[in-house]
Amino acid sequence: MKEEVHSTPIQESHTRSLVKGLTWRILATTTTTVIAFIVTGHVEAALQIGFFEFFAKLLIYYIHERVWTRIRL
C-alpha cells in the first residue's frame, strides 16, 4: 500500500530567499574555484578566480533582475 504524502508549499520569505541566494552563490563559487584549480593547477589563481567570480556574478545577476523588471511578457 502506497502512503500518500501531502506537502504544503513553503512560504518564500525575504530571509529565506536571501539565504538561498547566498548559499547558492557559495556553492557555485566553490565549484568555479575547484574547476579553476583543476585547469590551472595553482591554488592562488583558483582562489583569485573564485573571488572575482563571486562579486562579478552578484553584480551581473542584479543587473539581470533589474532588466527583467522592465520586460512584460
Mean pLDDT of 51-61: 93
3-state secondary structure of 56: helix
pLDDT one-digit tens code per residue, 2-51: 666 667 777 878 888 888 888 999 999 999 999 999 999 999 999 999 99
pLDDT at site 2: 66
Please state at what angle helix 43-68 crosses helix 14-40, rounded to 10 degrees. Answer: 140
pLDDT at site 7: 73
The Cα 73–Cα 56 span in angstroms is 28
- Statement: residue 54 has pLDDT above 80: yes
3-state helix, strand, coil in the chain (%, to 5): 75, 0, 25
pLDDT at site 57: 93
pTM of the entire structure?
0.73
Contacts of 40 (CB under 8 A, 6+ apart): 46, 49
